[in-house]
Structure 1
Amino acid sequence: MLLTTKLLRPTPDSRAVRRPRLDSLLQPKQAKRLNLVVAPAGYGKTTLVSQWCSGNRAHTAWLSLDGQDNQVHQFWQYVIGAFEHSGLIGLEACKAQLSQLNGDDATPLITALLNRLTDTGEAWCLVLDDYHVIRKPALHRQLSWFIDYLPPEVLVTLTSRTEPPLPLARWRVRQQVQDIHPGLLAFSEDECRAFFQGTMALELSDSDIQTIFRKTEGWVAAMQLAALSGQNQAAASASGSVVRADNPLITDYVLTEVLQQLPADQVGFLLETACCPRLSAELCDAIRQTADSQEQLLHLLSQNLFLVPLDNDNHWFRYHDLFRQALLQRIQVSAPDHAKALELRTIEWFMNHGYVHEGLSLIVYRQDAEMLARALCEHGNNLIHGGYHLPVLSWLDLIPTDRLQWSPRLQMLRVWALFFANRVEGLEPLLTDTEDLLDRQVADSHPEAEGALALQSEISLIRSYLARTRNDDKHAADLTRQVLKDIDQIRIPLKSVTFYGLGLDYFGKGALDDAIEALKSAVHYGKLERKPSTALSSGGLLAWIQYNRGDITVALETTRQVRDWVDEHCTDFRHPLLISCWQNSALCEIYREKNQLTTAGSYLAPLLEHVSKGTEPGQHVVIQYARGHLAFSQGRYEEAIEALEDALATGQRRREHIVFEPPAAAALLARCYLACGHPRKARACLTPALEPAARNPLNREQNLISLARVQIAEDNSKAAINTLSPLRADTQKNAHHRHLVEILLVTAEAYLVDNQEDSADQALDEALERAEEAGFLRLFAEESPRLQARLAERPGLLQSGRWSGELLAMLRAEAAQAEDNTLMEPAQTGRSEAGSSSSLVEPLSQREQEVLSLIHQGLANKDIAERMSVAPATVKAHIRNLYSKLGVGRRTEALARARELKLLDNPA
């Protein structure tokens, strides 16, 4: 049961200051997805948003959060309840997903809610008040995902005492966030008057108010300090030593008054801690060499002014940036030597306590290249393997060339950073130069040669990956094993990356048992070494293998465990969410096979953004394969063919940059062509994949299964049976359960074509038995209607059981859909004929007309999405509707038809 009062928008206090200029900032805009109102308690956040909602035409779903909502189930239950309370209907699917919520994975529920909001087409505003009470990392990640894929008509508004750990930097770059912070909350002169006389109930003259407003520039914090300290006009007019800041928001008056009113010990505390980008009591005690910092921080916090909490436990804080700049300028002028000493102590504390990024940032600020070089030598390896290779590259560029050239460790850091940035083309010369330098230093007993064995192991590991790109598996395996042999003698944490490489080797050979063991070790050491990228990739590939072997439940558990660990230990929500191509692709494939196509699409969606922005070629191929497979399962064959053709082209063009053998895109593409009635195209795309045979046995099996399908389509069922017979034995021996089930289904199809019904039924019964053990469903829905009808009559399927019931219901639904499609054929023909007339049966919407215009300009889908400030999936939906109304199937036809109907102002 929901507490209704949490869903009621507060009625604004009649005494509250009206803020029409802030109301205008909160209004929806084309690209905006989030209003973020962040300020300490008492800044009027709730009042401001409530006032704005009272005049907003959009439907408002309001939720006042409290500490009890810091649970995934309850949080989303109240979000759904807020929408329902505000009049949104049709939330049954969301409630059903909520009732099925297992653990903290709310992806299906969020997908259902997003789909419902998209379907309404109406303007909605979701307000989450007091979001600072939410601490659970999974909820921050889920809300980030929800906001990323909001339909354009929906706007989220958050109020919080602290800046929430969401990917705000990314959203700000895309102009998707409107920030309302204390600086924007500064009052105008009229608001200042209303604040003192109405809200604060202080009897101040107009002259007093004008003086305070002019000298504070409307900064509410300064006004509060003036009011709370009983400041009068004489004090407000006082002058003294002036501390200037470059930003005009901090005036001479504010700094002078703040420092003059505080005790000397607090002034000293402010100045001595200004060098800290963020503060804690332990840090401040260390750099000040005192023990009273916690008391000082809490006293500043009680004033609720220039100290901003960074968490809900009052452990970490930061100063307002402009205020901190002014403090820094004062201490650097008044006590430069002391300021430098404090800065060095701050750097030392950050580095010693694991806050390497903050320490390096201060070193860069000091422009101390030698200190930066030493720090990168010590910490750069962990930073790179933790996903921060691009910052390391930029920091290396700040070190003089001669310093880099004589340091094997720094050169190796550049190699690793370039490797993780997928810039492998020029690595071999860099490795050779590093080896030569290392040999010279060892011969000369140079101090930097002490870690020679560790560096040689790193060089060997990089060379093993480069060997894989050249299909030199033996050399890659030899190098990897040598690293494993030496690894216990070095201190560099390389085990996770090494075992991941070993797992790739075994996967490429089809030694799946060995691959599983290696990848489990990679996940284990990835956690120990705090390498989230390696753990995610290893766990994702492990799940991919487990899925292909038929261990769907085990694969799902693998992905859950790794994701939970990353969310708990390694995710900083101020940075983009770490996404694993292997893991999300595996989840897409798993849920597609479980016939949960919407859920599958929710895991694919984040990967498509990576494709549109450009990603590593191997990842690109895997993503497009998963995309094509899902589109094939949904009957969207044209989209599937487009994705798979792109996967094939990328795999061929960039093969030397891919360290594994990608999935069998040609085999799946052949199936798409067969589904469209083009067996010649199917054989043509499949033939190059058969000769030479794929090195990965999973790919080799998939290619041969598709070959058998082509042979059946060519009325050569005997050849198909001959193709499948030896393959069946291999898959059974190697425990490739998914392929074994598919082989049995295609074999049954061949037998039916050859009128061997008993043999066909025997193969079907075995396929059903093995598929039930694994939980496969979608395999059956993608076979021919004749085979599906035969399956639906098998006695084993008619027995009671959850899996058999789901499969039978799916087969019946597929049969009904096929019948509907048959009945629709005359109507579709009529539409095609209508397409040649002089008018449309149904007019284009405004959005569809906009999409048509952008297509006419030659823009790709991703560019259209950016121009319209919508998700790529939304653009595709508009294009599908556009094609349907025009009675066409591709862009060129759409433009030709639009010109015929004079829908384009300037025909080309």
Structure 2
Amino acid sequence: MSGPRGERERPVEGAGLTQPLIATKLYVPRQRRGLVARPRLVERLESGAEARLILVSAPAGFGKTTVLAAWLHEVTVSPRCVAWLSLDTADNEPSTFWTYVLTALQRAVPSLGARGLLELLAATPVPSELLLTTLLNELGAVPEDVWLVLDDYHLVGDPGVGQGVAFLLEHLPPNVHVVLSTRADPDLPLARWRARRELVEIRAKDLRFTSAEIAVYLDEASGNELTPGDVEVLEERTEGWIAALQLAALSLQGRADVNGFITRFAGDDRYIVDYLIEEVLTQQPAAVRDFLMQSAVLDRLTGPLCDAVTGRQDGTEMLPALERANLFLVALDDRREWYRYHHLFADVLRARMLSDHPDQLPLLHQRASQWCEDHDLTEDAVTHALAARDFDRAAHLIERAVPAIRRHRQEAVMYGWLQALPDDTLRRSPVLSVFYGDLLMHSGDLVAVGPRLDDAERALAAVPDGEAPPWPDTEELRTLPATIAIYRASLAQARGDTAATAEHAQRALHLAGPDDHLARGGAAGFLGLAAWAEGDVRSALETFAQAVASLHAAGNLLDELSSTIPLADMWCASGRPSKARRLYARALSAVESGGDAFARAAAGLHVGLSELDAQVGDLESAKRHLDAAAALADRAGMNEGRFRWFVARALVARADGEPEAAIAFLDQAVELYRPGFSPEVRPITAIKARIWIAQGNLAEAADWARDRGVSVTDDASYVREFDHLTLVRLVLARCRAHQDTTSLVQAATLLDRLGGSARTAQRAGSLLEIRLLQALVQDAQGRRARALDTLVHALELAPEPEGYLRLFLDEGAAMVSLLRDVKPDGPGGHQARRLASVGAAVEAAGATNTVKGITYKATESLSDRELQVLRLLDSELTGPQIARELFVSHNTVRTHTQHIFTKLAVTNRRSAVLLARERGLI
């Protein structure tokens, strides 16, 4: 058990931060001399033992921190573990905030597995629900009550922090309580918790000093005996505001005319603080007054840092003296090494410094920046450099911090710094220009990216040959030309300029060194994406495989696994969804073993699997994957793939007979969509149009076609293929609605062009859909026999037609009718019969284009022998026993078993049996 006095200070390492943790922020402040006992507040705080949250909310100067510290020092209830965290503005970033929270909890509860949790947190800016759930489970197992106190919570306004705190509070185990001290109410469901009696609130009206408390405090603090009338005046004018009373007590010390001072004090409230600060400062010796104002530029003070800033040598002695004099100094540790000023006092000191000595402020901040840099406090060093308006120094510091920022994914920190730099400073730094362009690209501002890359190239070109560059010699600078070419390829890809994408990617390959695997992987990746955008899936797969190999050689496992998503899309386009499923399953196994660092990649993989499941009718599995993705997704980060979750959810909703819900999900996807690395081969608006067509809402679909500028006379193009196939469906729907077949001829001609392109590029997935629509068009033209021949041809040529269940079902009764008429004992008859049976179930269910409660999952066909082995795997027999049962060798059984695992996309016997049962194979 650890109480408010806790353990002695020890070194604290920051996981995922660019500088060590400040241990002094984790101490409960010590009680000051002359503290007024306030049992009513202690009792109120103690009542929080049954609440999930104690909220201490009041304006500055109402003694929130003092009350909490006094409570924790006075209580004798045992056992109790207290984790204290004093927040400041530097904590307004998710990874920093949660690293401190986890460290504070581990100091209070040494048995807590914070080290493992910190390692999970280190690779992602915002903690996932998995991390917080793990933390909650561990806290729930602690036998003692655990109190987490977050002091000055108003200084942390990041939405990602707020979401995590809300999740933590919503799921607290009964032995854990959170205390928030804040100047403003947090964005939390306070009303709900209040109604449930799960919230204890202490507000300004509770914290104000009563008349009796004012009398006790002023008698001791000022050294003067005050009349009841004097106390009444001070109470009226200050309304029990403790900061003002503290200032009044300081001003009263040594005064003969106490009544006269109090009369003057009872002036205009707007000037009370200015008046009292003037009284306090003017009564201090010049050396103390100068020290106060100069050191006020610091958020945290220690003797050596104060000496560096003030140019004096008395910081170590001055700080304890100021504390003893009650000059609004708060000790942050038991050793009296680190302090901070009361926030209100610091604000006033800074305002006075700005008014009286504005010319000194840049120098003070420069000195603070240099000291922080020398002591590896990078973030503080940058902050002071920016405050000094020494932008060249700030840029230099940021350039050196780039590797750590990228490694720990603190994009939010970097973005804030770059936003604070003047534009001309950014333009002079090629590394920062490129990094800023990358952040802008991820935010969707494509227009602003190109000029930033131009700035970087101009800055590099301005360095004469043979001269050393004026920037830090980092790996980022050395590989910058290739990096710029990759970003230009990325920008061209996002704009749909395939030729430029390939051109810039080739240039990146030329510029990258043989061992620059990261650049070579990025370049090869964009070459593959360019080939994909052109519809050349075979070349895309080959080139993208090279990119994955380079990422593997670079040791970039996260990007290597994330590349599974576009690679799987390519395999689907080539007609091999089972291959895509195996890739997803293998990658998901790897990211799940990698922990929370791979949460975002895992979310994308779950979304991809949900799309495959929806396509084969396994809606329950699709929903499970989407739920898993939602639990893992980084909602606060810049993630170009966020929109895809909503697309997948829409596909499930449509398959589940909920078209209106599907449209709503797609509307959300449109809002989130940003042009990204992958070509837009499945436009969201075209997916909406297909739903409208299925609903019979042809007017909306016609508006879509007009807005997209799509026509049946267009040339074949892979990036427009999805649009064109949607348009053919619109033509078919109009024909059925109005009995007008005149436009079918042009639709058939368009399908011929699309089919020729897909056949040449060996896009079997595309060709299957084109053939289905050709069959429907021919049937609508009254050429039933030709339609059946086309359908049979499609079923014969497609590698895995059973993997495209929804593709057939979404065409409704017309497609089911054709499937029924395929000769069962002829070519394609087996596949047609199975597809038609599911279609019949749709009709029996009475729902349009949906099957509820029916699972139809495609796999590569198992041979008769493999089915025999699979049935025996669903028994107690060992491998050798199965071999004897089948009269084959054990090695032969192993070979069959491996083939089964591959075709079912599983890795072990138990999973194979469970999946086989689920699919009705055994």
Q: TM-score, normalised by structure 2?
A: 0.51
Query: Could you say what secondary structure the match of 2:350 adopts?
Result: helix
Cross-structure match for 1:387 = 411
Cross-structure match for 1:600 = 626
Query: Could you say what secondary structure the match of 2:67 adopts?
Result: coil
Which of 521, 544, 555 is the matching residue for 2:587? 555
CA contact (8 A) 2:527 2:543 kept: no
Query: Could you say what secondary structure the match of 1:660 adopts?
Result: coil
Distance 1:666 1:380, change over 3 A: closer
Q: How many residues align?
A: 668
Cross-structure match for 1:144 = 163
Q: Deviations over 1:131-151 (max 9, x none)?
A: 459x9x9xx979834737999
Structure 2 letter corresponding to 1:395: A
Cross-structure match for 1:631 = 653
Distance 1:433 1:272, change over 3 A: closer
CA contact (8 A) 1:468 1:476 kept: yes
Which of 473, 493, 501 is the matching residue for 1:468? 493
* C-alpha distance in 1 between matches for 2:560 and 2:256: 69
CA contact (8 A) 1:667 1:686 kept: no
Distance 1:238 1:478, change over 3 A: farther
Cross-structure match for 2:343 = 321
Residues 272-287 of structure 1 aligned to structure 2 (within 5 Å): 272-279=294-301, 283-284=305-306, 287=309
* C-alpha distance in 1 between matches for 2:871 and 2:258: 86
* C-alpha distance in 2 between matches for 1:699 and 1:604: 35
CA contact (8 A) 2:822 2:829 kept: no
Cross-structure match for 2:799 = 728
Shift of 1:320: 3.8
Shift of 1:764: 12
Cross-structure match for 1:586 = 605
CA contact (8 A) 1:130 1:159 kept: yes
Query: Could you say what secondary structure the match of 1:728 adopts?
Result: coil
* C-alpha distance in 1 between matches for 2:444 and 2:832: 46
Cross-structure match for 2:824 = 755
Cross-structure match for 1:116 = none
CA contact (8 A) 2:396 2:472 kept: no
* C-alpha distance in 2 between matches for 1:368 and 1:706: 61
CA contact (8 A) 2:521 2:546 kept: no
Which of 409, 424, 441 is the matching residue for 1:419? 441
Distance 1:762 1:70, change over 3 A: farther
% identical equivalent positions: 19
* C-alpha distance in 2 between matches for 1:199 and 1:635: 76
Q: Deviations over 1:621-680 (max 9, x none)?
A: 5344233234346543332255458869999xx8xx443224646899599859968899
Which of 722, 726, 738 is the matching residue for 1:685? 726
Unaligned runs of 5+ in 1: 1-13, 23-27, 49-62, 79-103, 114-126, 152-156, 528-534, 567-578, 732-737, 766-780, 813-908
Which of 204, 208, 222 is the matching residue for 1:187? 208
Matching of residue 660 in structure 1 with residue 689 in structure 2: no
* C-alpha distance in 1 between matches for 2:402 and 2:443: 15
Shift of 1:187: 0.9
Distance 1:132 1:189, change over 3 A: closer
Distance 1:609 1:295, change over 3 A: same
* C-alpha distance in 1 between matches for 2:634 and 2:911: 32
Which of 7, 26, 43 is the matching residue for 2:67? 43
Cross-structure match for 1:853 = none
* C-alpha distance in 2 between matches for 1:410 and 1:129: 42
Shift of 1:276: 1.8
Structure 1 letter corresponding to 2:492: A
Structure 1 letter corresponding to 2:623: L
Shift of 1:286: 5.1
Residues 130-529 of structure 1 aligned to structure 2 (within 5 Å): 130-132=148-150, 144-145=163-164, 147=166, 159-160=178-179, 186-187=207-208, 189-190=210-211, 192-193=213-214, 206-207=228-229, 209-210=231-232, 213=235, 218-220=240-242, 250=273, 252-253=275-276, 270-279=292-301, 283-284=305-306, 287=309, 318-329=340-351, 340-351=362-373, 358-368=380-390, 386-388=410-412, 390-391=415-416, 394-396=419-421, 398-399=422-423, 415-416=437-438, 418-425=440-447, 427-428=449-450, 435=457, 439=461, 442=464, 456-469=481-494, 471=496, 473=498, 476-477=501-502, 479-480=504-505, 482-483=507-508, 486-487=511-512, 499-500=521-522, 502-506=524-528, 509=532, 515=544, 518=547
CA contact (8 A) 2:764 2:798 kept: yes
Structure 1 letter corresponding to 2:799: R
Distance 1:471 1:708, change over 3 A: same
CA contact (8 A) 1:661 1:695 kept: no
* C-alpha distance in 2 between matches for 1:605 and 1:168: 27
Distance 1:448 1:295, change over 3 A: closer
Q: Deviations over 1:398-444 (max 9, x none)?
A: 356xx777776776566555434432236556655765675566489
CA contact (8 A) 1:465 1:476 kept: yes
Shift of 1:319: 3.8
Distance 1:661 1:311, change over 3 A: farther
Cross-structure match for 1:90 = none
Query: Could you say what secondary structure the match of 2:364 adopts?
Result: helix
Distance 1:552 1:419, change over 3 A: closer
CA contact (8 A) 2:564 2:584 kept: no
Query: Could you say what secondary structure the match of 2:447 adopts?
Result: coil
The root-mean-square deviation of aligned C-alpha atoms, in Å, is 7.6
* C-alpha distance in 2 between matches for 1:541 and 1:310: 47
Cross-structure match for 1:775 = none
* C-alpha distance in 2 between matches for 1:226 and 1:142: 38
Shift of 1:213: 4.5
CA contact (8 A) 2:55 2:180 kept: no
Structure 1 letter corresponding to 2:344: L
* C-alpha distance in 1 between matches for 2:349 and 2:553: 46
Query: Could you say what secondary structure the match of 2:799 adopts?
Result: helix
Q: TM-score, normalised by structure 1?
A: 0.51
Unaligned runs of 5+ in 2: 1-36, 46-50, 73-78, 85-99, 110-126, 137-144, 171-175, 569-578, 614-619, 702-721, 730-749, 835-849, 862-866, 876-908
* C-alpha distance in 1 between matches for 2:828 and 2:254: 99
Q: Deviations over 1:359-390 (max 9, x none)?
A: 44434433455655666676679879852575
Structure 2 letter corresponding to 1:346: A
Query: Could you say what secondary structure the match of 1:661 adopts?
Result: coil
Shift of 1:601: 3.6
Query: Could you say what secondary structure the match of 1:130 adopts?
Result: strand
CA contact (8 A) 2:647 2:665 kept: yes
Distance 1:327 1:288, change over 3 A: same
* C-alpha distance in 1 between matches for 2:858 and 2:499: 48
Q: Which range moves more in the overlay, 433-442 or 308-317?
A: 308-317
Distance 1:37 1:333, change over 3 A: closer
Shift of 1:341: 3.7
* C-alpha distance in 1 between matches for 2:234 and 2:270: 19
Shift of 1:537: 6.7
Shift of 1:506: 3.4
Distance 1:679 1:410, change over 3 A: closer
Structure 1 letter corresponding to 2:411: G
Structure 1 letter corresponding to 2:365: E
Query: Could you say what secondary structure the match of 2:166 adopts?
Result: helix
CA contact (8 A) 1:110 1:146 kept: no
Structure 1 letter corresponding to 2:67: Y
